[in-house]
Amino acid sequence: MSDRTEILRRFLEDVWNQGEEAAVDRYLASAYKIEHDPHDPWHGKTLTRDEFKQRLRAARAPFPDQRFTVVHSAAEADRVAAAWAWSATHKGDAPGLPATGRAVTMTGITFYFFDSDDRLTGHWQAVDRLGVMMQLRA
Amino acid sequence: MSDRTEILRRFLEDVWNQGEEAAVDRYLASAYKIEHDPHDPWHGKTLTRDEFKQRLRAARAPFPDQRFTVVHSAAEADRVAAAWAWSATHKGDAPGLPATGRAVTMTGITFYFFDSDDRLTGHWQAVDRLGVMMQLRA
């Protein structure tokens, strides 16, 4: 496992699982580009660290106990690809999805990009959002 | 770029873009496990080369001019992760989706796994199927 794979695992744990906003300053470059993330409101945008914290807060609000677990990874050059499983309880309202209280699972794969200081500069992502819709709208 | 990344690009071109069934024998190990591919009818199954050819035929039938283009890749150990963009014309019926004649695009990321002979042993995939549904059912 590369050092960057380990950095990425800690980023997912501290930032996305624990929701530690201060950790964003440690892991992110000053600009973070969401190169590709279909159906994500921030798709195509370049965020400052503060804007990333707002995104983190908004994304975690409906799913406060969310957990990402890395299933597979591959590191090469400036990138680490991570296949992940996500689980959460739908406790708060999301756009178009009022809180259901349901346990929900999701999978996806993300290419994360690093700069030479090992800080994250952005991502390119594919997520099974159809599966989430089927669980929350059924 | 690793040799396996190049093999993977050729596999996508020959097998998925060109639909060359005989090429399956060159690229695939004798057993191919679809470890994870939500909403795919073969999710979780282990296929022989002949069963893989049936899957190829069934998957290409509604979209005979389909094209995968690799956008990002990362190779490590026994795997290559590939982020791809797909485009096709919806010319034939698919389960639940009668032919629309529409141009359709899709993105996804796949972890492909290789054996020591550089043959493919399976994949773990995340695909934006929600985006496809929105294009074909709108």
What is the architecture, at CATH level 2, of domain A3-137? Roll (3.10)
Contact between B73 and A76 using a beta-carbon 8 Å cutoff? yes
Give 10-residue mean pLDDT values along chain B (138 residues): 90 98 98 97 97 97 97 98 98 90 97 98 97 90
Interface residue A74 vs chain B (CB under 8 A): yes
pTM over 0.90: yes
Report CA dihedral (A35, A37, A43, A49) to the nearest 10 degrees: -70
According to DSSP, the β-strands at B79-89 and B67-76 are antiparallel
For chain A, residues with pLDDT lower than 70 are 1
Q: What is the residue extent of each domain of chain B?
A: 3-137
Res B137: pLDDT:
85
Res B1: pLDDT:
56
Model confidence pLDDT, tens digit, residues B27-60? 999 999 999 999 999 999 999 999 999 999 999 9
CB count within 10 Å of CB A95 equals 7
Interface residue B58 vs chain A (CB under 8 A): no
Give the tokens for residue B126: 């995340």
Q: Tell me which H or E stretch contains B58.
A: helix B49-60
The answer to whether the Cα torsion of A130, A131, A135, A136 is positive or negative is negative
Res A137: pLDDT:
85
Q: Show residues of chain A in contact with B128, CB under 8 Å.
A: 38-39, 126-127, 129
Res A1: pLDDT:
56
